[in-house]
Structure 1
Amino acid sequence: MNSKIKHTTKDIIEKDNKHFLHPWEGLGYFGNNERTVAAGGEGIYLTDSDGNSYIDGAGGMWCTQIGYGRQEMADAISEQVMKTAYFSPFNLTCDVPTLLAEKIAQMTPGDLNTVFFTTGGSTAVDTALRYVSFYNNAKGRPNKKKVISRQDAYHGSTFLAASASGKTRDKSYQDVASGIFSFIGSPNPFRRPKGMSIEEFRDAKVKELEDRILELGPENVAAFIAEPILASGGVIIPPKGYHKMCLEVCRKHDVLYISDEVVTAFGRLGYWFASEEVFEIVPDIITSAKGITSGYLPLGACIISDKLMAEVSGKESNDAIFSNGFTFSGHPVACAAALKSIEIIEKEKILEHVREIEPYWAKKVSELADIPIVGDIRTQGLMACVECLLGPENESSLELDYEMGSRIDKHCQEMGLIVRPFINMNVMSPALTITKDQIDDMFTILRKGIENAMHDLIRDGLWEMPAELAVSDF
């Protein structure tokens, strides 16, 4: 067992169950979970408190860009702790967040040059939404407050960010902001009507956005918020041209475009930001977090265009105050971690590595399509989703989907791979430093895990193999 762990695995699990309320905790299991205890990590691998090593297929939570165990990160963080551990961002400034803001402004597309630092992705989105409201109030347009989002979207868990999210199961027992958000359909091509082409589906989704703006009244619609790829929705990749066409609709009706790049920024798709380089748009606001520090410390950023800032600042401000902020906005230690992570990505040419290895990654994940319960595979950059389905017409019961996902997760972990099942969907976003050999190992285990779960379901009478397939083939 790792010598740095002062308690046994059993002790940690007991204390965890007694005192630690985890995010998205299923309260039916509260106090009785048997979680793996993370105790170390190096590169793409995590080690548990019993010394077992796992490929971290989920990359923590979409964020371990440079991998675990980087001594350079520890040194940079330690040095900053001893230099300036904290400053009040309300009335002081500091060199480290200022230099990071400048660096980010150099990376972003167009005129997005003003950076508001937050504590993570949720607060970055919350800040973007509050800025949109502030902006329209300052411009004398108090009715222009509606925000359009999409089904399957996830934007965070603070009140406004959660209200902007379109995953209905996350709202089952939670209140949300009323009268602000309006949802249009998910741009998931896999769920398009039979007989409809990808292009027809794309055009219909764009038309739905414009129709909703017209229905609500352009004078009432403030913004459209969209993840370039709907990550927590299951790596949903909209059809080519979708974002560009949506931006054109927004420009036509004076609606701001918020690109939520909390997952896709800082290298996940092979670029610092995906909005322009991958999806050919220059939005009004970009939100980011996760990969900004490679998960080493919490940090987020809301990045605002010069145009928006100019319209409500200086002589145009009417002495308005953007009364939004956090005790830890621009925290110097977190910002030092971000600067060092960016330096490592540049020095080791990790963005170039992602673009180079992406075709191999896509090939290996696509090879899983022959497994009978695999319904769809979605991949771009170094993120992917393998969606498993058991029922006819691409539908199965939610209870059975949960059971299937749980069994896949269990089998994979027993073989040394951590996956992150979203009900029936297995999502992956490993450290961007992953090699071809490690990709081979990852998908060999995932294949075996899915096949083992499939055999479990057949054995237990929960699913029947289609007659045209032979169980022995899998």
Structure 2
Amino acid sequence: MTKASQTLHSRANTPSAETLTKWDREHQIHPWAAMDDWRGYDNMLVETAKGIYFWDAQGKRYIDGPGGMWCNQIGPGRRDMAEAIADQVIKLSYTSPFSNATEPSSVLAKKLAEMAPGDLNNVFFTTGGSTAVDTALRTMQYLNNRRGMPEKKMILAREKGYHGSTYLAHSVTGKERDKSKFDFETRLVHFLPDVNPYRRPKGTSVADWCDAKVADLEAAITELGADKIGAFIAEPILSSGGVIIPPEGYHRRTWEICLANDILYISDEVVTGFGRLGQWFASESVFGIVPDMITSAKGLTSGYLPLGACIISDRVMEQMSGLGEASSFTNGYTYSAHPVSCAAALKNIEIFESEGILEHVREVSPHFQARLTALTRFDIVGDVRGMGLLGCIEGKAENLEAERTLGAQIDKACEDLGLIVRPLINMAVFSPPLIITKDQIDEMFDILEQALEKVSADVAKAAS
């Protein structure tokens, strides 16, 4: 019997949890795995999920605090979603997006154009958030080549911003606190300093901090030259950087500066899009801007299937197409506009609308944020911040090593009590499924409080 047939035979006989963990350890490379110990990992084997909960292979229940990876908006385990996906698989599982259109992709493109602000009426479907960001950046490059401006290619981005893992998306990501061992493009990217109000100098008001952050952008334009800068990419909330919410007025002012200097404004709404802040998109409805492009993914299908979208304004499309010279937009993916993924997105939107999920988020968010704010009573908590159903706890520690230890302690204490959070150095971030109820919000924060009480006691004991 060959290795492949042995594996298939084992699957047919339902491998034990121990066997699956062994195979995972020996053969699967996980995202962000530590290369010094990647075979030593014991990743949690998740067996099933429903609503805001999932269960491991031993039957222990956990609250899904991160909402998968910021994406489980309607919650897993929905039969209506499964049926919509299955129906599309039977009807049409795949056709080439390079030459063919499908009903799901055409309807979804129209829906996204209606949801997006202003003149963002043109949708390029991708495989996820990273490829949506890549598409936005390549669109800027293509546009300026078409305009006869080959030098106008610099990309401005913020420290602590996260935009993906493909080469270009990784290159404009400023999140890492430890140096990446991957190569990334340095010639085309300029990072602006951290925008986090929690990090402002003592005695500096939030308004003055906002002025300083706007000045960062103005200084970069002066230094590099507007004729060299093609785009500014920004998250409405810097989610993976620690749910960093820029000061009020910052987004509007930086957008206006970009408009005045012929710099494309790309709003990365991979996390904030599709209900996380109680709106389809946050750019205009929450922050008062109409960007040139919006990137989205994650909540677009509520994590049921991979799909991303780069939504482009009419103005940009008219500039690219109105120059006379014939030229192909040579950007695309085998699974662009995948009909089954698009069907899942359409069903997701239908569920949002029929069950009033945006309205529900707006209703329960004040309670979520109130429970979050109350965590400042713990001495080990330096800052709490959030908006909508996004939240972050930032622990206080004297150095990076202590921060890592503190973050790991909070993570373990929560997991032991049946809550998963996403640890980021000294921070714990969470973005639960949007269907979470007020009682479930209390259940989640009750566990967080118990975890912080335990960690506080452990820190005090270690210091005595």
TM over 0.5: yes
Letter in 2 for 1:233: G
The unaligned stretches of length 5 or more in structure 2 are 1-11
2:335 to 319, 328, 334: 328
Q: Give runs of aligned pairs for residues 357-436 of structure 1, distance below 5 A.
A: 357-390=364-397, 396-436=398-438
- What is the deviation of 1:5? 9.6
Partner of 1:470: none
Letter in 2 for 1:64: N
Q: Distance in 2 between matches of 1:408 and 1:10?
A: 27
Q: Distance in 1 between matches of 2:274 and 2:420?
A: 22
Verify: 1:298 aligned to 2:298, yes or no.
Answer: no
Q: Distance in 1 between matches of 2:356 and 2:32?
A: 36
1:85/1:317 CA distance change after superposition, 3 Å? farther
Verify: 1:259 aligned to 2:267, yes or no.
Answer: yes
Contact 1:268/1:432 (CA < 8 Å) preserved in 2?
Answer: yes
1:317/1:366 CA distance change after superposition, 3 Å? farther
SS at match of 1:169: coil
Contact 2:102/2:339 (CA < 8 Å) preserved in 1?
Answer: yes
- What is the deviation of 1:14? 1.0
Partner of 1:148: 156
Q: Give runs of aligned pairs for residues 161-240 of structure 1, distance below 5 A.
A: 161-169=169-177, 171-240=179-248
1:96/1:389 CA distance change after superposition, 3 Å? same
SS at match of 1:303: strand
- What is the deviation of 1:171? 4.5
Q: Distance in 1 between matches of 2:269 and 2:229?
A: 22
SS at match of 1:335: helix
2:445 to 443, 452, 456: 443
Contact 2:197/2:206 (CA < 8 Å) preserved in 1?
Answer: yes
1:337 to 338, 344, 348: 344
Contact 2:378/2:456 (CA < 8 Å) preserved in 1?
Answer: no
Q: Distance in 2 between matches of 1:7 and 1:357?
A: 41
Verify: 1:98 aligned to 2:106, yes or no.
Answer: yes
Verify: 1:110 aligned to 2:118, yes or no.
Answer: yes
For 1:230-251, what per-residue CA distance to the aligned partner results, in whole angstroms no more than 9, with x for missing partners? 0000000001110000011111
SS at match of 2:177: helix
TM-score normalised over the length of structure 2: 0.96
Partner of 2:9: none
2:323 to 298, 316, 329: 316
Verify: 1:57 aligned to 2:59, yes or no.
Answer: no
Q: Distance in 2 between matches of 1:454 and 1:317?
A: 67
Letter in 1 for 2:351: I
Displacement over 6 Å in runs of 4+: none
1:98/1:170 CA distance change after superposition, 3 Å? farther
Partner of 2:132: 124
Q: Distance in 2 between matches of 1:283 and 1:312?
A: 17
Q: Distance in 2 between matches of 1:214 and 1:360?
A: 44
SS at match of 1:401: helix
Q: Distance in 2 between matches of 1:319 and 1:449?
A: 61
1:277 to 275, 282, 285: 285
- What is the deviation of 1:170? 6.1
- What is the deviation of 1:157? 0.3
- What is the deviation of 1:207? 1.0
Contact 1:160/1:177 (CA < 8 Å) preserved in 2?
Answer: yes
Q: Distance in 2 between matches of 1:90 and 1:97?
A: 13
Contact 2:64/2:432 (CA < 8 Å) preserved in 1?
Answer: yes
Q: Distance in 1 between matches of 2:327 and 2:64?
A: 46
TM-score normalised over the length of structure 1: 0.94
Q: Distance in 2 between matches of 1:5 and 1:41?
A: 22
How many pairs align?
454
Contact 1:5/1:49 (CA < 8 Å) preserved in 2?
Answer: no
Q: Distance in 1 between matches of 2:233 and 2:445?
A: 33
SS at match of 2:294: strand
The unaligned stretches of length 5 or more in structure 1 are 391-395, 465-474
- What is the deviation of 1:317? 4.6
SS at match of 1:353: helix
- What is the deviation of 1:29? 2.1
Root-mean-square deviation (CA, aligned residues, Å) is 1.4
- What is the deviation of 1:440? 0.5
SS at match of 2:38: coil
Contact 1:46/1:56 (CA < 8 Å) preserved in 2?
Answer: yes
2:252 to 244, 263, 282: 244
SS at match of 2:236: coil
2:78 to 70, 76, 80: 70
SS at match of 1:275: coil
Letter in 2 for 1:191: R
For 1:167-204, what per-residue CA distance to the aligned partner results, in whole angstroms no more than 9, with x for missing partners? 23365211111210000112100000111110000011
For 1:81-107, what per-residue CA distance to the aligned partner results, in whole angstroms no more than 9, with x for missing partners? 001100101111111111100000000
2:353 to 346, 352, 372: 346
SS at match of 2:124: strand
Contact 1:5/1:39 (CA < 8 Å) preserved in 2?
Answer: no
SS at match of 1:404: helix
Partner of 2:19: 11
Q: Distance in 2 between matches of 1:141 and 1:200?
A: 36
Partner of 1:468: none
